[in-house]
Amino acid sequence: MQDQGLILSALLRPQTGYYSDVIEEAAALWESLTMNHGFIDGNNCVAFASVILFLQANQVLPEGEEEDWIKFIYRNIEAATFRKNVLDKWLREHTSPMPSDDHKS
């Protein structure tokens, strides 16, 4: 760990109440964990895993191939476009709500 404060800041960002829904919260978390560089190494991997877990914990499933997600991450980091609005758009296009268990008796 390089800077615990940067990591905690990133983890708390979705809880600020500024975001309209769980997708926007996930985008904020993803951006912060990636760009804050709170870890010595592996910031992109930790951020990717964290956003997937965050989505699943909030009843949202990622869609598409993992390879497409990885290409998206590196393409946007290299282009300096890894920003919340870009991530929000991607997440809206590449996630879906988990099926409900309403059919159970």
Q: How confident is the model at residue 102 (pLDDT cuts 50, 70, 90)?
A: low
CA atoms 73, 3, 42, 64: torsion sign: negative
For 57, residues 6+ apart whose C-beta sits below 8 A from its C-beta are none
For 38, residues 6+ apart whose C-beta sits below 8 A from its C-beta are 1, 2, 3, 4, 5, 6, 7, 9, 10
Which residue bears the tokens 């910031």?
43
* pLDDT tens digit sequence for 51-70: 999 999 999 999 999 999 99
In the beta sheet, which residues pair with residue 95?
62
Q: Residue 39 — left, alpha, or beta (φ > 0 → left; ψ -120 to 50 → alpha)?
A: beta
| Contact status, residue 102 vs residue 59, Cβ threshold 8 Å | no
In the beta sheet, which residues pair with residue 60?
97
Q: How confident is the model at residue 101 (pLDDT cuts 50, 70, 90)?
A: confident
> How much is the pTM?
0.88
H/E segment holding residue 96: strand 95-97
